[in-house]
Amino acid sequence: MSKHRSGRSASRREQVPASVAGLPVNKNDEVLLDIIGMTHEGEGVGRVDGFTLFVQGALPGEKVRARVLKTKKQYGYAKLMELVQASSDRIAPPCPIYDQCGGCQLQHMDYTAQLAWKRQLVVDNLQRIGKLNVAGGQDEGILVLPTLGMDEPWRYRNKAQVPIGVTDGGLVGGFYARGSHRIIDMETCLIQHEDNDKVVATVKSLGRELGITAYDEETGRGLLRHVVVKKAFRTGQMMLVLVTNGRDIPHVDAWIGSIREQLPEVASICQNINTQKTNVIFGNDTRVLWGSDVIHDYIGDVQFAISARSFYQVNPVQTEVLYGKTLEYAALTGSETVIDAYCGIGTISLFLAQHADQVYGVEIVPEAIEDARANAKLNGMTNVKFEVGASEDVIPAWKEQGITPDVIVVDPPRKGCDPRLLDTILLMKPERVVYVSCNPSTLARDLRVLEDGGYRTVEVTPVDMFPHTVHVESVAVLVRK
**Which residues are the active-site residues?**
438
Phi and psi for 91 in degrees, rounded to 5? -130, 165
Distance CA 209, CA 243 (A): 19
Give 54-57 contacts, CB < 8 A, sequence gap 24+. Answer: 54/78, 55/79, 55/80, 56/80, 56/178, 57/99, 57/108
User: Exposed, middle or buried: residue 37 (CB in 10 Å: 0-12, 13-18, 19+)?
Assistant: middle
Cβ atoms < 10 Å from Cβ of 276: 11
CA distances from 463 to 2, 324, 467 (A): 36, 11, 10
Up-side HSE of residue 60: CA atoms within 13 Å toward CB? 12
Distance CA 83, CA 404 (A): 59
Phi and psi for 158 in degrees, rounded to 5? -100, 0
H-only helix segments in 236-336: 252-262, 316-330
DSSP states of 440-460: HHHHHHHHHHHHHTTEEEEEE
Find out whether 229 and 270 touch, Cβ atoms under 8 Å.
Answer: no
CA distances from 431 to 352, 365, 408, 409, 427 (A): 16, 28, 9, 11, 12
Contacts of 113 (CB under 8 A, 6+ apart): 89
DSSP states of 334-397: S--EEEEES-TTTHHHHHHHTTSSEEEEEES-HHHHHHHHHHHHHTT--SEEEEES-HHHHHHH
Distance CA 395, CA 403 (A): 9
Distance CA 43, CA 458 (A): 31
Give 411-416 contacts, CB < 8 A, sequence gap 24+. Answer: 411/340, 411/341, 411/342, 411/343, 411/344, 411/348, 411/436, 411/437, 412/341, 412/342, 412/437, 412/442, 413/342, 413/438, 414/438, 414/439, 414/442, 415/439, 415/442, 416/442, 416/443, 416/445, 416/446
